């Protein structure tokens, strides 16, 4: 069984466990274990050398129980149909957790974007929209940025979509767009802010604050930077960063300064095309040393499956907030639970991005746009209500936060399915 297929089976297992715990009708799991729609398309693109290359792509719409499907589209050479199916199922959990009138969606194109020119990426983006146009729409399926896609690519998407649908243009069909094309303020920082806010809330549940606490951050891209920025604003001190961008010649992959690292200086290094490993006032350490550091909090914000069972056994932190999707393996999660570590799962911690995408979807449809402060304040209030609900469920049912998240979400989907007469 391949690793990608394992992701699908693991996701189905979590659905089944939550359905059983909630004592739901067996039909609920049978309905939710498969996507309602999975399309596979071939996208022919004329390359810069004049030759035509065909790229395979997938789009999964998991459940319409609560509304149209919503989720990212990634450009990655390792995309598989099973991965896309599993990720759409995870998106259904995320949007249901947030109480949004949406279902889960996910898409992917099998491509290494590093091998394409900007013109070829634009052609591929437009080709994806042409191939999936009949299945897109603000009340059908709403794509957004994901791995190796961004606001610029959303611009290509919406431009092609409008060209194909003259007379029924609908800019709410895509989110994560540039501000000039109907995007939302605070979208770029939404995910990282949520990662930090989840940690703050976890400590406040124990009547503690973050002042004086230390944290380390694995990855310093968009999510890692904003998570570190807000953690620092909340009073915690960043002491180490693991560079997901490249490794130093010595094999070291992280830097540490126990007195603290300057978040803005780290960001400047990245913007200048350097690595966080080039930070002057620091010393380099290995990946293994990084996760074993004596710190209060870990923010894994880059890669999947980095906290394995082996790594988890070395962790001294008391709280982990998953900024990345799937950074902790099932074996690693079990070790952390046995050690009493509070593991805030990805579907809870990094849900700020889709929440603000939802605000963008609303703003596009009503033709009225919120200012930065409105978006930021609304995100904080909405996330805190969700966090409280999940922590309460975990305590009431004596389960971890991931299982509690699945239970809260699936309960909402099951109720909607019942009222729609699906079972």
The answer to whether the Cα torsion of 207, 209, 213, 217 is positive or negative is positive
Judge contact between 379 and 190, C-beta under 8 A.
yes
Strand pairing report for 103-110 and 69-76: parallel
Q: Is 318 known as a binding-site position?
A: no
Tokens describing residue 316: 């001294």
Q: Specify the 3-state DSSP secondary structure of 30.
A: helix
Tokens describing residue 406: 């699945």
Judge contact between 110 and 57, C-beta under 8 A.
yes
H/E segment holding residue 109: strand 103-110
Choosing from 106, 200, 213, 411, the catalytic residue is 106
Catalytic status, residue 23: no
- DSSP calls for 8-42: HHHHHHHHHHHHHHTT--HHHHHHHTS-SEEEEEE
Q: Is 222 known as a binding-site position?
A: yes
The DSSP secondary-structure symbol of 85 reads H
Tokens describing residue 113: 């974007």
Phi/psi at 58 (nearest 5 deg)? -130, 150
Q: Is 191 known as a binding-site position?
A: yes
Collect all residues with Cβ–Cβ distance below 8 Å to 186 and sequence separation of at least 6.
193, 356, 372, 375, 376, 379
Residues annotated in the binding site, as ranges? 70, 94, 191, 222, 357
Q: Which residues are catalytic?
A: 106
Would you list which residues are annotated within the binding site for NAD(+)? 191, 222
């Amino acid at each position: 069984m391949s690793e990608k297929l394992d992701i699908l089976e693991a996701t189905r297992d979590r659905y089944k466990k939550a359905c059983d715990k909630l004592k739901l009708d067996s039909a609920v799991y049978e309905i939710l274990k498969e996507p309602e729609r999975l399309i596979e398309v071939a996208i022919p693109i004329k390359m810069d050398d004049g030759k035509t290359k065909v790229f395979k792509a997938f789009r999964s719409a998991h459940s319409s129980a609560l509304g149209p499907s919503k989720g990212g589209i990634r450009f990655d050479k390792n995309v598989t149909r099973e991965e896309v199916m599993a990720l759409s199922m995870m998106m259904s959990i995320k949007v249901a957790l947030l109480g949004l009138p949406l279902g889960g969606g996910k898409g992917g194109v099998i491509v290494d974007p590093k091998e394409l020119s900007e013109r070829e990426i634009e052609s591929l983006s437009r080709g994806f929209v042409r191939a999936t146009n009949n299945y897109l729409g603000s009340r059908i399926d709403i794509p957004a940025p994901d791995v190796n896609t961004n606001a610029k690519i959303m611009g290509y998407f919406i431009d092609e979509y409008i060209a194909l649908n003259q007379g029924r243009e609908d800019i709410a069909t895509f989110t994560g767009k540039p501000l000039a094309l109907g995007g939302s303020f605070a979208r770029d920082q939404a995910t990282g802010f949520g990662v930090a806010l989840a940690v703050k809330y976890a400590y406040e549940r124990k009547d503690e604050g973050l002042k004086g606490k230390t944290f380390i951050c694995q990855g310093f891209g968009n999510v890692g930077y904003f998570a570190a920025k807000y953690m620092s604003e909340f009073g915690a001190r960043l002491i180490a960063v693991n560079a997901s961008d490249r490794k130093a010649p010595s094999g070291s992959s992280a830097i540490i300064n126990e007195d603290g690292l300057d978040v803005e200086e780290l960001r400047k290094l990245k913007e200048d095309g350097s690595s966080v490993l080039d930070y002057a006032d620091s010393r380099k350490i290995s990946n293994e040393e990084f996760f074993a550091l004596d710190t209060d909090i870990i923010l894994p914000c880059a890669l999947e499956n980095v906290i394995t069972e082996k790594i988890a056994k070395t962790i001294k932190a008391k709280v982990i907030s998953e900024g990345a999707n799937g950074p902790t393996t099932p074996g690693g999660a079990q070790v952390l639970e046995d050690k009493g570590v509070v593991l805030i799962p990805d579907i809870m911690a990094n849900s700020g991005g889709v929440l603000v995408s939802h605000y963008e979807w609303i703003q596009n449809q009503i033709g009225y746009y919120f200012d930065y402060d409105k978006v930021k304040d609304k995100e904080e209030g909405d996330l805190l209500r969700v966090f409280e609900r999940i922590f309460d469920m975990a305590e009431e049912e004596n389960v971890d936060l991931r299982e509690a998240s699945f239970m809260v979400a699936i309960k909402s989907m099951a109720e909607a399915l019942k009222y729609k007469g699906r079972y």
